């Protein structure tokens, strides 16, 4: 992985909406069933809203019933970083963008096959690039 993207808090605030900043830089969470991608069926690649790194392919998206966009795997395990999160009096695994450390959401071990994982992401942390993954790889 290339060097991490580093910006000041003021630069992130200038580049992001207040909601995007609260979720990605302050480790916030949008309310369930309110994000723009929780029920989206559009084919494409979900990229990090902060740096544009491709994170999830729509072919791995499924309806988990949680109210957040859920995926059973990232495009590449190297595109995300996992960290223990003991906040809110529970143990969870936080998912961050490996390129810019944006908070994306959490991963849980109750997803569908083939991975058994549920990457429960915040819509505010994602930017959907419509189209097929093969089309975007050629760009």
- 120 as an active site residue: the answer is yes
Contact 47, 98 (CB under 8 A): no
Tokens of residue 17, six digits: 């909406």
- Whether residue 69 contacts residue 37, with contact meaning beta carbons closer than 8 Å, is answered with yes
Query: Which residues, 6+ apart, have CB-to-CB distance to 3 below 8 Å?
Result: none
Helix, strand, coil share of the chain (percent; to 5): 20, 30, 50
Catalytic residue among 48, 51, 100, 120: 120
Catalytic residue ranges:
120
């Amino acid at each position: 992985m290339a060097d991490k993207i580093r910006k000041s808090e003021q630069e992130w605030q200038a580049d992001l909406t207040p909601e995007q900043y609260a979720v990605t830089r302050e480790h916030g969470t949008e309310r369930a069933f309110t994000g723009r991608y929780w029920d989206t069926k559009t084919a494409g690649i979900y990229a990090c809203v902060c740096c544009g790194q491709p994170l999830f392919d729509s072919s791995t998206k499924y309806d988990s019933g949680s109210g957040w966009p859920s995926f059973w795997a990232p495009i590449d395990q190297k595109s995300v970083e996992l960290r223990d999160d003991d906040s809110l009096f529970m143990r969870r695994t936080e998912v961050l963008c490996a390129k810019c450390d944006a908070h994306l959401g959490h991963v849980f071990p109750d997803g569908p096959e083939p991975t058994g994982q549920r990457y429960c992401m915040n819509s505010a942390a994602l930017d959907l690039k419509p189209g097929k993954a093969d089309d975007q790889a050629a760009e």
